[in-house]
């Protein structure tokens, strides 16, 4: 699943409060000037009111933080969250739409292909949030149907007690595409069940995902999601793993012996977009929820210990000191909108290639 990170344990209220305080403190320390407040789209003296349903694949700790922020900054809005992996969220949304109406007002998942499909089906309500102004234009839909709200990054992980950084392949091409790539030492997620693995395959292969079948035939482990890949590396089953940076940072914070390499041909950037559904019951309140997510406090939750992701606001620092800035990541491997559009339009054909290549 895209951004499929597994269910996160709900933190205790005291810990949630400390994360929220840390997020607000970080915002204050960065001295970010945002102009209009997050309630800039309010209508009337009291602003929007009522319920807003958010469908999201964000970590539970992040959604807990967003709910706390909403209570603090949007007192008239009741934010209701449905949280799950991107595939689970997409399946629920598709079921809603087949029944005649989306159950969500706002969508926040890490599946760039889903947003392109929904836009083509006219299921999204365009909104140019004033807080999206600082975001790199490559991460904002030209028609303002959606924009990135968080950034996940695929890197090469290794067991830092068993493998030296100098021994890690320096690029995705060397690890995955070369004829002499170290397939038997490598673990990847299953692109048929992990959205980030699917995005990685599409990006590294330039739309041609057939290389995964050859890798598997030569001994690569292609199974599960990011947590499975990281566990194989930590257990010593595989020397190298293609995995989400946020998973690596969280494991490292727990004291696990894991390191990472940013590939020289660029880490795969997976945008976690946000959008408003076209048939939202409460468009005014949905807009201020989008603003809340894009606000400095909302972005601080994404890059803080709850998320370990890059904020889309370039004025916030990376999630760790040894991690490149978002601008540096985008320079190395800029988003290819044409490729994403092409795969979104022909996703079934891409899946057919994967199913043939990865068949038991």
pLDDT digits (tens, 9 = 90+) for 312-323: 999 999 999 999
Whether 333 contacts 266, CB under 8 Å: yes
Q: For residue 328, is it within any domain?
A: no
178 and 134 both lie in a single domain: no
31 and 71 both lie in a single domain: yes
State the pTM of this model: 0.86
184 and 101 both lie in a single domain: no
Task: Name the percent of the chain lying above pLDDT 70.
Answer: 88
36 and 143 both lie in a single domain: yes
Q: For residue 125, is it within any domain?
A: yes
pLDDT digits (tens, 9 = 90+) for 125-163: 999 999 999 999 999 999 999 999 999 999 999 999 999
Q: Is a pLDDT exceeding 50 seen at residue 42?
A: no
At residue 237 the predicted structure's pLDDT band, cuts being 50, 70 and 90, is very high
β-bridge partners, 158: 240, 259
32 and 120 both lie in a single domain: yes
Name which of 128, 72, 52 is nearest 282 in CA terms: 52
pLDDT digits (tens, 9 = 90+) for 172-224: 999 999 999 999 999 999 999 999 999 999 999 999 999 999 999 999 999 99
At residue 258 the predicted structure's pLDDT band, cuts being 50, 70 and 90, is very high
Q: Is a pLDDT exceeding 90 seen at residue 11?
A: no
If you average pLDDT over residues 257-282, what whole number do you get?
97
218 and 349 both lie in a single domain: yes
- Computed over every residue of the chain, the mean pLDDT equals 89
If you average pLDDT over residues 279-285, what whole number do you get?
97
* Rg of the chain taking only CA atoms, in angstroms: 20
If you average pLDDT over residues 218-232, what whole number do you get?
97
278 and 169 both lie in a single domain: no
Total domain count for the chain? 2
Q: For residue 162, is it within any domain?
A: yes
207 and 310 both lie in a single domain: no
Q: For residue 257, is it within any domain?
A: yes
Q: For residue 332, is it within any domain?
A: no
At residue 360 the predicted structure's pLDDT band, cuts being 50, 70 and 90, is confident
List own/partner pairs for 23-27 with CB under 8 A and 24 or more apart.
23/65, 23/297, 23/300, 23/301, 23/304, 24/297, 24/300, 26/300, 26/304, 26/316, 27/296, 27/297, 27/300
CATH number of the domain to which 82 belongs: 3.40.190.10
Total residues found in the chain within this entry? 360
291 and 235 both lie in a single domain: no
Q: For residue 3, is it within any domain?
A: no
Q: Is a pLDDT exceeding 50 seen at residue 15?
A: no
Task: State the pLDDT at residue 1.
Answer: 44
177 and 35 both lie in a single domain: no
pLDDT digits (tens, 9 = 90+) for 91-125: 999 999 999 999 999 999 999 999 999 999 999 99
In the 8-state DSSP scheme, what is residue 244? E
pLDDT digits (tens, 9 = 90+) for 63-90: 999 999 999 999 999 999 999 988 899 9
Whether 192 contacts 355, CB under 8 Å: yes
Name which of 252, 246, 262 is nearest 160 in CA terms: 252
If one compares 330 and 39, the residue with the highest pLDDT of the two is: 330
If you average pLDDT over residues 42-53, what whole number do you get?
77
249 and 309 both lie in a single domain: no
Q: For residue 6, is it within any domain?
A: no
Q: Is a pLDDT exceeding 50 seen at residue 31?
A: no
106 and 217 both lie in a single domain: no
Q: Is a pLDDT exceeding 90 seen at residue 21?
A: no
Query: Containing domain of residue 255, as a range?
Result: 153-268+338-357
Task: State the pLDDT at residue 45.
Answer: 54
């Amino acid at each position: 699943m895209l951004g499929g990170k597994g269910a996160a344990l709900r933190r205790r209220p005291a810990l949630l409060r400390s994360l929220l305080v840390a997020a607000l403190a970080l915002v204050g320390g960065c001295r970010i000037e945002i102009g209009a407040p997050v309630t800039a789209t309010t209508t009337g003296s009291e602003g929007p009111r009522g319920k807003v349903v958010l469908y999201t694949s964000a970590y539970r700790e992040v959604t807990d933080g967003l709910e706390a922020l909403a209570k603090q900054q949007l007192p008239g809005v009741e934010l209701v969250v449905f949280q799950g992996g991107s595939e689970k969220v997409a399946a629920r949304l598709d079921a809603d739409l087949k029944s005649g109406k989306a159950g969500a007002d706002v969508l926040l998942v890490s599946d760039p292909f889903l947003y392109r499909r929904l836009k083509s089906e006219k299921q999204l309500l365009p909104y140019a949030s004033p807080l999206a102004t600082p975001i790199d234009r490559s991460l904002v839909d030209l028609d303002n149907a959606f924009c990135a709200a968080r950034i996940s990054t695929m890197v090469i992980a290794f067991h830092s007690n068993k493998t030296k950084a100098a021994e890690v392949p320096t690029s995705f091409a060397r690890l995955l595409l070369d004829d002499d790539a170290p397939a038997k030492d490598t673990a990847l997620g299953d692109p048929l069940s992990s959205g980030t693995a699917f995005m990685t395959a599409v990006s590294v292969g330039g739309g041609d995902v057939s290389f995964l079948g050859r890798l598997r035939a030569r001994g690569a482990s292609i199974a599960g999601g990011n947590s499975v890949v990281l566990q194989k590396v930590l257990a010593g089953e595989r020397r190298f793993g293609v995995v989400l940076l946020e998973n690596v940072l969280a494991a490292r914070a727990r004291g696990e012996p894991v390191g990472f390499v940013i590939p020289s041909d660029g880490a795969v950037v997976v945008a976690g977009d946000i959008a408003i559904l076209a048939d939202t019951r409460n468009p005014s309140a949905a807009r201020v929820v989008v603003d809340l997510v894009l606000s400095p406090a909302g972005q601080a939750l994404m890059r803080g210990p709850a998320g370990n992701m890059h904020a889309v606001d370039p004025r916030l620092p990376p999630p760790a000191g040894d991690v490149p800035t978002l601008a540096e990541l985008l320079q190395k491997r800029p988003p290819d909108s044409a490729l994403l559009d092409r795969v979104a339009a022909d996703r079934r054909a891409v899946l057919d290639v994967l199913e043939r290549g990865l068949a038991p």
